[in-house]
A = this chain, B = another copy of it.
């Protein structure tokens, strides 16, 4: 297997292009993370105007995806990358798709936050959703750090952590369901909270996808749909 030799090209311009595309992915990741944070804050503080801001900013996330995608296509066409460079470009194409959809989930959470801004009941539920959101945010940060430093250990640790978020979501779901059964009037409101929780859970899954791309990029092995990650990275010795 070829070793990662990003930034080792004879053409300085080509090095710069690859470096630029990586930096743009990290910038996009930073924006998406901020969107998630703001959506959570809008939900917890019943801040309708912050929620609107998140909804408006999603356009920027989308524009970044399209721009990076275009840059990847240009590199593929002009540079005809091979080996680890090619894996970088394909990993980027997949990563930005997941980042864009994490942005969509943040927007969904913001829409719930906007709808729920006047709701006076059960602030306790918001606290728990906020906790779940914090956990998902740690996963997203872990995935972005793993991508930034091509750190497979971090990628594996983050990937494994996602299952904790899944279990936390399941427990929260049971609690929200009990709440609905005790107070039928709360149903439309709690259902929105459930959708927000589900959006957060999906963000964790997508952060896990990004971890898989990082492992593929570094190791040259596709670990998707395997349970091998639980015992460490395949190909690691």
Contacts and interface: CB of A to CB of B under 8 A. Distances in A.
A216 to B, nearest CB: 9
B86 A77 contact: yes
Interface residues of A, number: 33
A121 interface: no
Interface string A76-111: 110010110011001001100100000000000000
Interface in A97-138: 97
Contact of A184 (B69, B83, B86, B181): B181
B70 A225 contact: no
A69 B222 contact: yes
Q: How many identical chains are in the complex?
A: 2
Interface of A: 59, 62-63, 65-66, 69-70, 72-73, 76-77, 80, 82-83, 86-87, 90, 93-94, 97, 177, 180-182, 184-185, 187-188, 191, 194, 222, 224-225
Given A180-B187, A191-B194, 5 more contacts: A66-B224, A76-B90, A90-B93, A93-B94, A180-B180
24 contacts: A59-B225, A63-B225, A65-B225, A66-B222, A66-B224, A66-B225, A73-B86, A76-B76, A76-B86, A76-B90, A77-B82, A77-B83, A90-B93, A93-B93, A97-B97, A177-B187, A177-B188, A180-B180, A180-B184, A180-B187, A181-B185, A182-B184, A184-B184, A187-B187
